Amino acid sequence: MAVSSSLVTYAFQGGMSLSKTKTCSKDFMSYSSLCKQSGCLKSLYPRHPRFLPNEKVTKLELTNRSSGKTGILCQALEIENAPSFSVGKKFQLDDVIEAQQFDRDILNAIFEVALDMEKIEKNSPGSQILKGYLMATLFYEPSTRTRLSFESAMKRLGGEVLTTENAREFSSAAKGETLEDTIRTVEGYSDIIVMRHFESGAAKRAAATADIPIINAGDGPGQHPTQALLDVYTIEREIGKLDGITVGLVGDLANGRTVRSLAYLLAKYKDVKIYFVSPDVVKMKDDIKDYLTSKGIEWQESADLMEVASKCDVVYQTRIQRERFGEKIDLYEEARGKYIVDGRVLEVLQKHAVVMHPLPRLDEITVDVDADPRAAYFRQAKNGLYIRMALLKLLLVGW
Amino acid sequence: MAVSSSLVTYAFQGGMSLSKTKTCSKDFMSYSSLCKQSGCLKSLYPRHPRFLPNEKVTKLELTNRSSGKTGILCQALEIENAPSFSVGKKFQLDDVIEAQQFDRDILNAIFEVALDMEKIEKNSPGSQILKGYLMATLFYEPSTRTRLSFESAMKRLGGEVLTTENAREFSSAAKGETLEDTIRTVEGYSDIIVMRHFESGAAKRAAATADIPIINAGDGPGQHPTQALLDVYTIEREIGKLDGITVGLVGDLANGRTVRSLAYLLAKYKDVKIYFVSPDVVKMKDDIKDYLTSKGIEWQESADLMEVASKCDVVYQTRIQRERFGEKIDLYEEARGKYIVDGRVLEVLQKHAVVMHPLPRLDEITVDVDADPRAAYFRQAKNGLYIRMALLKLLLVGW
Amino acid sequence: MAVSSSLVTYAFQGGMSLSKTKTCSKDFMSYSSLCKQSGCLKSLYPRHPRFLPNEKVTKLELTNRSSGKTGILCQALEIENAPSFSVGKKFQLDDVIEAQQFDRDILNAIFEVALDMEKIEKNSPGSQILKGYLMATLFYEPSTRTRLSFESAMKRLGGEVLTTENAREFSSAAKGETLEDTIRTVEGYSDIIVMRHFESGAAKRAAATADIPIINAGDGPGQHPTQALLDVYTIEREIGKLDGITVGLVGDLANGRTVRSLAYLLAKYKDVKIYFVSPDVVKMKDDIKDYLTSKGIEWQESADLMEVASKCDVVYQTRIQRERFGEKIDLYEEARGKYIVDGRVLEVLQKHAVVMHPLPRLDEITVDVDADPRAAYFRQAKNGLYIRMALLKLLLVGW
């Protein structure tokens, strides 16, 4: 339960009931405004007062949303008699905004829940873990694949969904509502918001406004953290480990937020080796390379896909995105055809290795690869369901 | 239950079972056609035969849908041994089409249910009051905010939703289906229809066709009755009373159906005083002014927002709609900047007073106002949820 | 249950549990790939492993998806001790792709289930037959009417729905994903896919790819099998029989897939007589005429709607589709006004006969016909709900 997994738990006699009485709605508002302004006391009230088992118990979260980047939004919190995160495995997940918020312990903890979700999805005739909870999918640009995955996750756990794929209408030219106002309205109708936006940083702005959890389902060129989580989860599920693995990242490494986030997260593990295989025009940028170096991760650029494939545990292929080339169609065509995963690659690929891809794919992996047991990309897509089930559970009902 | 709240309740031995046997579907159709034509006997059958607890009991509604405007669609109906509405507080709500259908007693009765809904929404782990019921949201133009509010209301009560935001497709140029045919089809798939349409009067036409309840979620420049209800409900919740209040209506009073409906409904209460504060080009029209005068409501036009704000219990701000000005951009810009609710207005606003707005807002209320406890507009939006929960409950299962 | 309705049922000790253990997902994939390639052993695993009551029992389906047209996708299968379909009434329905897959016995069996569904829909406060099941509506072109009908069917049985009306986004120009890849992704999120596509044959391709059931909700000019089923079901419900009936097909017989499928299915019954009444430009094509002749079905073309109407049990009117005429507006206008079902037709129509129409209608049936008990078209639309409920039940939980 959320209550038992927060940092410090106090019992206020009657404290909670105040905020729920009909006559003090303004007081409630002023309190919470105060909280937002001061920035130190997130709230005197739990995030999801609707389902509190005991109104007298409430929590005091000592999170500071504006205190820097790493670790703000997701912190390992102690519970009484469980001093260390790595032991007690309890933490309070408030929002899912960016890959950077997760450390190795949190990733492991989430993956354990995801594994439970696999069992739930396969065996039970309809789990009711999230019965009574309502998720709003607020999509400012369509992403049917991502949306369906989240909505399936919610419904597989017995939750309900409010869908909108034309959230831009909220802020249409004629109306001009701010994202913050939209979030304040939609949070009145739901218990959690899954948001897709065209602007980098939009999810963080939403999380700073909302009193309910926000999951970033992609904000422009920025972040797509649930994709990063499912990629790492898939490697662990397929290879059986994350320490000591060799990964080849192939294709558009300059623009693909997927491979950038993956490289970032792999740096949290030991003895990882990364190969970058990409056409010159879309090479991995220096920021990630520098970051890997700073973390002691061995990386190498290569133009020989066959050689890399023969050494890797994971070949992670990506799509060369035509829209990144503008009018330089010839450059696109050249880049596109350069590194294809096909039957020849399979011949050199180790028996235990796998091919991954964030999907959709065009012809950067040929269809004859699909039948090979090492083609992991559809299993990878399915893992997105388990990861999202796990996150929804953690954000809504805790551990 | 619907049965116990109708005007007259008869027990027909076997009468109902006839209409449900498989062989007499044509007889059923001809009966109901007859009913529609004659106009006096709405139906020999209850509206929602699917969930009748007792098939032998049916109701006889003496409503006449074509007998004039006021009171047709929603009438205070006596029940046995409860001669007066104001005593028994029972009535049969068939459809929600326009603000005019509600009188003071009905409003109070709905508000009491809305208050119950606040408790249900906050405390229960998923109410099941409407379990098994299916609401269709038939939106001929997008209105994500309104749709989400209705869908949340239905799901918070355990009901299910069929969504369509492109209902125009039903009547697309190529196909040309009438609204009436669409309604007859959709009512076969659902238990209640929430309809948004671009044409004034569309909801009334739908209600005249359907055998299931219709809720008007806005029909063109016409009506948006659930907005009117939530506005009045918010005033009562915030101020604690409706008699004797002073309300300032600010902004676009010529085109805003919100303020027009609100003024109409406020006329049902005693000792209400209304101030109109608007740029000259969008002044309140004479029909509403004449109506208020005829009801003995004191009203006054003013150009001084500060003075009005100092006197009011409620300052109801609205957006100046650019689309109403066509090419007269200069007039729009002038009108738009004229009356802004900001920190200076807050300074003169009484401590117990509130600022309301139907949302979305642009800059007619500055964001620094949000943190003030007297900023009631997000609570107002949330009240829309409770009002819609109340209406769905009343229309589907009665009192 | 699916298990008991398959052709041959074997018990594998531990066989099933293997495919569910976490470590062998690649083995599972390779097995199923093998199955697809060989074409003979559909799978060693049941289609819906999530809800298997007993993991040790699995089934061996001897279906061959690529062995010709008739009967491939839906076969009457024997069960132990129930040698004949007509006795045991058990068969395994894998997908619903085209009208041709149904024979008379299967139609009768489906209609019996549809009749049960009428009772369920009318009486129960929310059936839970499909609780825990998730249906994805994958619509590559909008068809709100069909989509709402399927979604209502699923929800009336307690199932849940993932909706997408912009499935084209999956395969958008920029992304270019194949239908097969999309299906493989979506089947990971759902238990059954209802698909609408703009290309003939798309549903069959989807079914060949998916391991979960596919229902064709219309694929371009190709098939719309659930419409064909509801038409035949409506005739039986309205007239009480299918053998020995006389049916007049009116309107656009050249392009309407509805009337073509209906003629095809009627050929499965005895002593059926069919009249074709259509403008010259949109006459019934020879393939259907030849087929009817080969099956010994008496058919006749006529230009006299009144005479035909006086002889028929069913007058099946269709819309003349303007889009078929291109720039020949004059031909369209002439064709459109030629055969109208109106009060005069009702005068000669037999008392027990009915008028049907697949909807939407324009003016090919005048609105004054609606009030006549013999106007069956809205009941026909409602029957679509029952047929779809029946198919969803049969595909997901079997008999």
Task: List all residues of chain A from 45 to 84 with a beta carbon under 8 Å from chain B.
Answer: 49-51
What are the strands, taking DSSP E only, across chain A? Answer: 8-11, 57-60, 74-75, 92-93, 134-139, 160-164, 192-197, 214-219, 246-250, 273-277, 298-301, 314-317, 354-356
Confidence of residue A220 (pLDDT cuts 50, 70, 90): confident
Identify the pLDDT of residue C125.
72
Return the percentage of chain A with pLDDT > 70, whole number.
Answer: 76
Q: Contacts of residue A145 in chain C, CB cutoff 8 Å?
A: 170, 185
| DSSP for residue B78 | -
Tell me the β-bridge partners of A137.
A163, A194
What separation in angstroms does the CA of B332 have from each of A280, B216, B279, B360?
53, 30, 10, 18
Residue of C21, C52, C155, C160 for testing the chain A interface, max A β-carbons within 10 Å? C160
Of residues B47, B196, B257, B336, which has the active-site annotation?
Answer: B196
State residue A126's pLDDT score.
76
Which of C131, C170, C176 comes nearest A362 by C-beta?
Answer: C176
Residues 325-384 of B with CB under 8 A from A: 354, 359-362, 367, 370-376, 378-379, 381-382
Find the CB nearest A25 among B165, B362, B379: B379
Q: How far apart are CA C223 and CA C100, in angstroms?
A: 10
pLDDT at residue B178 is higher than 80 = yes
Per-residue HEC secondary structure of C117-160 comes to: HHHHHHHCCCCCCCCCCEEEEEECCCCHHHHHHHHHHHHHCCCE
Tally the C-alpha atoms within 13 A of residue C325's C-alpha that lie toward its C-beta. 20
Inter-chain CB proximity A323 and C131 less than 8 Å = no
Average pLDDT over residues B123-140: 90
Å from B94 to nearest chain C CA? Answer: 20
C156 touches chain B (CB under 8 A): yes
Let me know: does A211 contact A32? Beta carbons within 8 Å: yes
Catalytic, C175? Answer: yes
| Residues B202, B205, B210, B215, Cα dihedral to 10° | 40
Strand-pairing partners, residue B137, are B163, B194
**Tokens standing for residue B78:** 């006596």
Chain segment A276-313, per-residue pLDDT in tens: 999 998 999 999 999 999 999 999 999 999 999 999 99
| Alpha carbon A309 to chain centroid, angstroms | 28
Q: Which of A125, A145, A240 sits opposite C170 (nearest CB)?
A: A145
The predicted complex's ipTM stands at: 0.81
Continuous segment of H or E residues that includes residue B248: strand B246-250
B26/C115 CB distance under 8 A: no
Q: Do C145 and B185 touch (CB under 8 A)?
A: yes
Which of C26, C132, C185 faces A359 most closely, judged by CB atoms?
C185
Lateral strand order in the sheet of A314-317: A298-301, A273-277, A246-250, A314-317, A354-356
> What confidence category does residue C378 fall into, taking pLDDT thresholds of 50, 70 and 90?
very high
**Backbone dihedral angles phi then psi of residue C352, each to the nearest 5 degrees:** -90, -5
Strands C298-302, C314-317: pairing kind: unpaired
Structure-block tokens of residue B330? 């200069």
pLDDT over 90 at A327, yes or no:
no
Per-residue pLDDT tens over the stretch C90-106: 567 899 999 999 999 99
- Search chain B and give the residue with CA nearest C319: B175
pLDDT recorded at residue B207 = 98
Q: How far apart are CA A46 and CA A52, in angstroms?
A: 8
What are the CA-CA distances from residue A370 to residues A247, B359, C189 (Å)? 20, 51, 19
Q: Which of A172 and A354 is assigned the larger pLDDT? A: A354
The H or E element that residue C246 is part of is strand C246-250
Residue A32: the pLDDT is: 34
Which positions in chain A touch C188 (Cβ < 8 Å)? 378, 381-382, 385
Contact B32, B42 (CB under 8 A): no
A145 labelled catalytic: yes
Question: Measured between CB atoms, does A24 come within 8 Å of chain B?
Answer: no
Render pLDDT for B53-94 as a digit per residue (tens, 0 to 9): 333 323 333 333 333 333 323 332 323 333 333 334 456 789
pLDDT higher than 70, residue B44: no
Cβ-Cβ contacts under 8 Å, C1 against chain A: none
Share of chain A above pLDDT 90, in %: 64
As to burial, measured by CB atoms within 10 angstroms (0-12 exposed, 13-18 middle, 19+ buried), residue C184 is: buried
In chain A, residues with a C-beta closer than 8 Å to the C-beta of B361 are 177, 181
Q: Which chains touch B (3 or more CB pairs under 8 A)?
A: A, C
Average pLDDT over residues C256-284: 95
Look up C50 and say whether it is catalytic: no
Give residue A321's pLDDT band: very low, low, confident or very high (50, 70, 90): confident
Better-scored residue on pLDDT, C173 or C162: C162
Report whether A277 contacts A250 (CB < 8 A). yes
Least CB–CB distance from C152: residue in B22, B25, B162: B162
| Chain A residues close to B194, C-beta within 8 Å | none
Query: Residue A81 above 60 pLDDT?
Result: no
Query: Using CA atoms, how far apart are residues C364 and C361, in angstroms rounded to an integer?
Result: 7
Residue B256 pLDDT level (bands cut at 50, 70, 90): confident
Beta-carbon pairs below 8 A across chains A and C: 99
Contacts of C33 in chain A (CB under 8 A): 370-373
Contact across the interface for B142 and A169, Cβ inside 8 Å: yes
A24-50 tens-digit pLDDT: 334 333 333 333 333 333 333 334 433
pTM exceeds 0.90, yes or no = no
Q: What pLDDT, in 10s, does the model give residues A221-271?
A: 888 999 999 999 999 999 999 999 999 999 999 988 899 999 999 999 999
Of B232, B300, C111, C51, whose CA–CA distance to A122 is shortest?
C51
pLDDT tens, B107-122? 999 999 999 999 999 8
Instruction: Give the per-residue pLDDT at B303.
Output: 95
For C22, the closest of A115, A125, A367 (CB atoms) is A115
B175 classed as catalytic: yes
**pLDDT value of residue B183:** 96
Q: pLDDT > 70: what percent of chain C?
A: 76
pLDDT digits (tens, 9 = 90+) for C103-137: 999 999 999 999 999 999 987 777 999 999 999 99
Angstrom distance (rounded) from CA B214 to CA B187: 10
Q: Is the pLDDT of residue B3 over 90?
A: no
CB-CB under 8 Å, A115 with C51: no
B27 contacts C379? CB cut-off 8 A: no
Q: Which pLDDT score is estimated for C81?
A: 35
- Give the residue carrying structure tokens 């409904």: B265
Q: Which amino acid is at B357?
A: H
State yes or no: is A196 an active-site residue.
yes
pLDDT score of C219 more than 80: yes
Cβ density class C13-50: b for 16+ within 10 Å, e for less: eeebeebbeeeebbebbbbbeebbeeeeebbbbbbbbb
Direct distance between the N- and C-terminal alpha carbons of chain B, in angstroms, rounded to an integer: 6
Averaged over A184-200, what is the pLDDT? 96
Record: contact B360-A176, CB cut-off 8 A: yes
Given a cut of 50, whether residue C77 has pLDDT beyond it is no
- The pLDDT value given to residue A315: 98
- Residues paired with residue A301 on neighbouring β-strands, in sequence order: A276
How sure is the predictor about C174, in pLDDT bands with cuts at 50, 70 and 90? low
Higher-pLDDT residue of C68, B185 = B185
pLDDT band at C331 (very low <50, low <70, confident <90, very high): confident
pLDDT digits (tens, 9 = 90+) for A93-150: 899 999 999 999 999 999 999 999 999 998 777 799 999 999 999 999 889 999 999 9
> C91: distance to nearest CA of chain B, Å?
26
- Cα C122 to Cα B301: distance, rounded to the nearest angstrom: 56
pLDDT tens per residue, range B257-274: 899 999 999 999 999 999
Distance from CA of B227 to the nearest CA of A (A): 14
